[in-house]
Chain A
Amino acid sequence: VLTAEDKKLIQQTWGKLGGAEEEIGAEALWRMFHSYPPTKTYFPHFDLSQGSDQIHGHGKKVVAALGNAIKNLDNLSQALSELSNLHAYNLRVDPPRFSLQFLSQCLQVTLATRLGKEYSPEVHSAVDKFMSAVAAVLAEKYR
């Protein structure tokens, strides 16, 4: 459960990204494809080479969705409702509790490389919990 403190830390951390959100999204995806090759199977229609416009564009989308979720931490279910439908019925990505853990890990690594010591254990914990909560909402309608 996201505590008030967790929510504050998440919003503060997101606030520190200073406009680099798109780059971060693209980097997180690139790291995910590199560390967890099976995740590429969902993007056969993409150019997955480094620096590809499609990876950049998709990273931007992902980060925008996360940013929206962060503005609506008190009602994640509603904020992510459309995406939940999309993932369950159209995309049918392997239930998020498996795949999203890879995106979560890579997003956290990306944040940690940029924030260094500021990616403290408390921030780490809050972000990890947030990504788990997002995964749970995205998985709600799978069956």
Chain B
Amino acid sequence: MVHWTAEEKQLIASIWGKVSVEECGAEALARLLIVYPWTQRFFDNFGNLSSPTAILGNPMVRAHGKKVLTSFGEAIKNLDNLKGTYSKLSELHCEKLHVDPENFRLLGDILVIVLAAHFGKDFSPACQATWQKLVGVVAHALAHKYH
């Protein structure tokens, strides 16, 4: 089980409290599709992904980004049981969606960059370290049920 210090929990909560799940989720997913274009392979039915502008404006991308980050919010409420929280989602990503877990790491890193751009100097090194740890354990939990 992952151990979180009081300071880490505070750094997570203070950032999360100010995040717009819809905006941030949309931004993070769009950047994944832009920066790592091969990830578009999972979204063939999303319509126009032909340029950064198209991706950023695509309503399906925005909606899905919101879904993904809402789920992330669940993780934050359940820091002491991430594997349990993500058990079903992990099975889904393996058995139905066939997503290589490496993509969870990529999205996690992108989320950190989105937060950095949003929060500027407030996204201190200590803050980044805590969030890198968080996205790492979330990625791990999502990969846990792969077989």
**Alpha-carbon separation in the docked complex, A106 to B128 (Å):** 9
Question: Which single member of B56, B117, B118, B128 contacts A34 (CB below 8 Å)?
Answer: B128
Name the A residues within 8 Å of B13 (CB-CB). none
Query: In the complex where A31-B128, A121-B30, A125-B34 touch, is A113 in contact with B120 (Cβ < 8 A)?
Result: yes
Those of B99-147 within 8 Å (CB) of chain A: 109, 112-114, 116-121, 123, 125-126, 128-129, 132-133
**CA A110 to CA B125, docked complex, whole Å:** 9
Q: Give Cα A6 to B112, complex, Å.
A: 22
- Determine whether the beta carbon of B117 is less than 8 Å from that of A117: yes
Query: Is residue A124 within 8 Å, beta carbon to beta carbon, of the partner chain?
Result: yes
- Interface residues as binary, A95-128 with B (CB distance below 8 Å gives 1, 0 otherwise): 0000000000110111011111101011011001
Q: Which residues of B contact A112 (CB under 8 A)?
A: 113-114, 116-117
The reply to whether A35 and B35 contact each other, CB–CB distance below 8 Å, is: no
Q: Is the CB of A122 within 8 A of B34?
A: yes
- What are the residues of chain A within 8 A of B66 when measuring CB–CB? none
Q: Is the CB of B120 within 8 A of A114?
A: yes
Chain A residue with the shortest CB-CB distance to B114:
A112
- State the majority secondary structure of interface residues on A: helix
Tell me the count of chain A residues lying within 8 A, CB to CB, of chain B.
23
Contacts of A108 in B (CB 8 A): 113, 116
- Answer whether residue B52 sits at the interface, using C-beta atoms and an 8 A cutoff: yes
Partner of B113, one of A30, A34, A36, A109: A109
* B102 CB → nearest A CB, Å: 12
From B126, B132, B133, name the one whose CB has the most chain A CB atoms within 10 angstroms: B132
Report yes or no: A122 in contact with B52, Cβ–Cβ below 8 A.
yes
- Can you name 16 A-B residue pairings with CB atoms under 8 Å? A27-B125, A31-B125, A35-B128, A108-B116, A109-B123, A112-B113, A112-B114, A112-B116, A114-B120, A115-B117, A119-B113, A121-B35, A122-B34, A122-B52, A124-B31, A124-B35
Residues in B lying within 8 Å of A, measured CB to CB: 30-31, 34-35, 52, 55-56, 109, 112-114, 116-121, 123, 125-126, 128-129, 132-133
Residues on A lying within 8 angstroms of B by beta carbon are 27, 30-31, 34-36, 105-106, 108-110, 112-117, 119, 121-122, 124-125, 128
